[in-house]
Amino acid sequence: MLTIHYKLINAMISQALSDHPIETCGIIAGPAGSSLPLRLIPMKNIAQSEIFFKFDPQQQLCVWKEMEARNEEPIVIYHSHTGSQAYPSRADIELAMEPQAHYVIIPTIHLNQEEVRSFRIIDQMVIEEKIRIVRQYQPELELQMVA
């Protein structure tokens, strides 16, 4: 299950709608091993495509080094599907390289919070998981949140 603050869900939806019809993408970093999404980092889709996304490699290096320095990892890796349902495509499955991550897909057609879905993708196996949207984190964690 992915437990996530509603502000982070809203920020992902807002970014996806703003980028529509181009696929949006990004990560939410959090403490390594915690499963707690805290810092939302929009990533540049270098493909600038309606049907494909790829993180800008230079920005990715920069963000990954920053996470390493802060003892964080990508808790959520998100992207939008701008013309199809929120289920991992073959490309999503084949290219999923972070077994600990929650892969969140935001469909920008028929969109509401319930349409956002989350998956674990491990060794090309897809398992959908429930998203529990919470109104608040503990106060000290809310201070660290970037949404």
Cα dihedral value 47, 52, 57, 63, nearest 10: 120
| Kind and range of the H or E run holding 122 | strand 117-122
Of positions 11, 13, 25, 29, contacts another protein by CB under 8 A: 25
- Residue 35 binds another protein (CB under 8 A): no
Task: Mention every residue, 6+ apart, whose C-beta is less than 8 A from residue 49.
Answer: 22, 23
The reply to whether omega before 21 is within 30° of 0 (cis) is: yes
Binding mask 47-76 for another protein (x = CB under 8 A): x-x-xxxxx-xx-xx--x------------
Nearer to another protein, 37 or 137 (CB): 37
Footprint of another protein on 84-123 (CB under 8 A): 84, 88-92, 95-100
DSSP state, residue 130: -
* Residues near 142 by beta carbon (within 8 Å), at least 6 away in sequence: 5, 136
Shortest Cβ distance from residue 74 to another protein (Å)? 8
N residues, the chain:
147
Q: Is 77 in the site for another protein (CB under 8 A)?
A: yes
For residue 115, the minimal CB distance to another protein (Å) is 14
Q: Which residues make up the interface to another protein (CB under 8 A)?
A: 23, 25, 27, 43, 47, 49, 51-55, 57-58, 60-61, 64, 77, 79, 81-84, 88-92, 95-100
